[in-house]
Amino acid sequence: MKLLHPSKSLLYLLLTFGPFLGGMLIPVAVNIGDTAIFTCNETCNGHLLWTFHTNNENLEVLKCIQEICTKGDNFKNRVSLKPGNMSLGLYPVLYNDEGWYMVKCDSVFCCEFHLEALVPTTVSTSVRSNITLPCYARTEKRITDDAVNILWKKDGQTVLQVQKGITTYGSGFTGRASISLHHYKHGDLSLNMLRVTTSDKGLFRCYHRTTEEQGYPGAVTLNVTADQKFYAKKFGGNLTLDLFGSDRVKVTFTGHDADETPVCSVLGNNTTCSSEYTHRVSVINDFLVLRELTSTDTGTFTVKNKMDEVIGVNTVTVEGVTQRHHYITLPVLIDFILICLFLCCQYHRQSQAQQYRCSYNAIQSNVNINPEPMREPACIGLSQQETNPEPDVRPHTPVEETMPEPVRPTEKQDNTEEYITCGIGIGETV
């Protein structure tokens, strides 16, 4: 004969004989640090007393006499009475709070509760991902499939149950939750879940053989976080956002100014978008497509479900705008520089030509004014400093020179060119 653990024996007696004691035992399972609510809808106009019981202790939790309440030493600042009835709230739950809670009105039992303080394993995942919730137990290695009995619950509701070889599913878990009967023979009762949603977050519990024999760990808390994605898009390209198949979602945008602005509200294939997005948005198979991206689309697109929970965060950077401007302006800049250089060269050439003309005219005038030949050549093998060490700006005075024959005017005119080209004095023979 199999003997039950003492605590389970007492629990069994309370479940069996509770109704005859004036109340029914209600199980309450809460994570350590969370809030336990003992809901008793009875009313009491007399003396109210809440007590705590274990195999070793019997303690006073809360006592109210004529609406004046006092709290037990071990429950001060942690319990409160709900107005209108006899319900009790306990926060935060401690590990040694596990036990039986009873409430009496004028010494008459009204409600009874058994609190189980859980130390769960926490598993975190993101929306649309797949996850395995661990659970292990001592199982028979040669057990047949039709003898397997496994039960998974979430927040008190059935997720999956295998009984006599037949698997049944809770609402919303068909086709998404599964266990392996082969692994069960190795002691592995882990629950596999596909395409996790935000509604899947909560407390999961695994039972083996009966609803009293739990696997290890006794509970698994599933946290579901928003899906995070990062996109580097080209200017003028498209952006595709996952709506996660939700019934109703809302998409918002946050730019560099940190202001969150609405983009679209989506229900199925029907969209209601703000004016700046209406002509750029379409919904295809639970995905929102945003076309013709520009630099103003650099920022964060957030997807929220109908409960206003964030289920998708999409960080977007639109690239190529700055580079494209460089490609356009560089040739223009080069052309502008070349045109400037050309104009400068033209101006320089014109200036030089004008200077040459002025010099020529000045020399021509000097020749006509001073027809007499110069005494010494302007440059024959000597530098300018040697031939003319100190420039004299005064007009030259012709030096008289005895000429064997008078020089004819036609010869002077012919020798002018020689003076200009090689610097030989007028009247000298070449």
Q: Kindly list the domain boundaries of the chain, sorted by start residue.
A: 6-118, 121-224, 226-319, 371-386+405-430
Residue 384, H or E segment: helix 384-387
Region 275-280 average pLDDT = 93
Nearest to 179 by CA among 132, 140, 224, 141: 132
**CATH 2.60.40.10 is right for the domain spanning 6-118:** yes
Highest mean pLDDT among 70-79, 355-364, 395-404, 414-423: 70-79
Q: Which CATH architecture has domain 226-319?
A: Sandwich (2.60)
Region 32-45 average pLDDT = 92
The tokens for 373 are 């030949």
Residue 276 has pLDDT above 60, yes or no: yes
Q: Quick: pLDDT tens for 241-256.
A: 999 887 889 999 999 8
Q: In what order do the strands lie in the sheet with 202-208?
A: 121-126, 220-225, 202-208, 149-154, 157-163, 166-169
Give pTM, 2 decimals: 0.59
Residue 121 has pLDDT above 70, yes or no: yes
Distances (CA, A) of 193 to 160, 190, 403: 11, 10, 128
pLDDT at res. 227: 93
Instruction: Please report, rounded to a whole number, the percentage of residues in the chain having pLDDT higher than 70.
Output: 74
Contacts of 17 (CB under 8 A, 6+ apart): none
pLDDT at res. 256: 84
Given CA atoms 150, 156, 158, 164 in this order, what sign does their dihedral have? positive
Equal fold, 6-118 vs 226-319:
yes
Nearest to 317 by CA among 333, 336, 301: 301
Q: Does residue 305 contact residue 249 with C-beta atoms inside 8 Å? A: yes
CA–CA separation, 108 and 349 (whole Å): 120
Q: Domain 121-224 belongs to what topology?
A: Immunoglobulin-like (2.60.40)
